[in-house]
Amino acid sequence: MSIFGKIKDAIFGKAHAATPPPSTGSAPPPSSPAAPSQQAAPIEVSYVDVERNLAAMAEGKNLNWRTSIVDLMKLIEVDSSLDNRKELARELGYTGELDGSAEMNLWLHKATMRELAANGGKVPAELLD
């Protein structure tokens, strides 16, 4: 499993990750009198409140998960080693030096939050920019 996949599963919950998208059901056959006027129900999208989940996990812990990728990974019990952060950087498309610098780590945190949002997470704007 990818490093980002581990992060997403830890924050979203494995049950959420394994839940298939809701089905709209099948349309009635064309010979049905109701067929022309019936439309498929809209698919309801469920979002995971990333900030709320992480805040709950962080209660009583002295971790700065809001800005630190290392603390975020420690909080959700994903290995925060430089090798894992390098792998995460490659997964998310980082093009700078894979040296564990502050620049790389800040980029990783923002990119991780953006990717969580792109995958159904509700992430506050201040954690994205």
pLDDT tens over the chain, length 129 residues: 899 999 999 999 864 544 444 333 444 444 444 444 455 554 444 689 999 999 999 999 999 999 999 999 999 999 999 999 999 999 999 999 999 999 999 999 999 999 999 999 999 999 998
**CB of 32 closer than 8 Å to CB of 116:** no
**What is the reported pLDDT for 1?**
86
Eight-class DSSP state of 34: T
Q: How far apart are CA 128 and CA 114, in angstroms?
A: 6
Residue 34 burial by Cβ neighbours in a 10 Å radius (0-12, 13-18, 19+): exposed
Taking the CA atoms of 80, 86, 87 and 93 in sequence, report the sign of the dihedral they define. positive
pTM, rounded to two decimals: 0.76
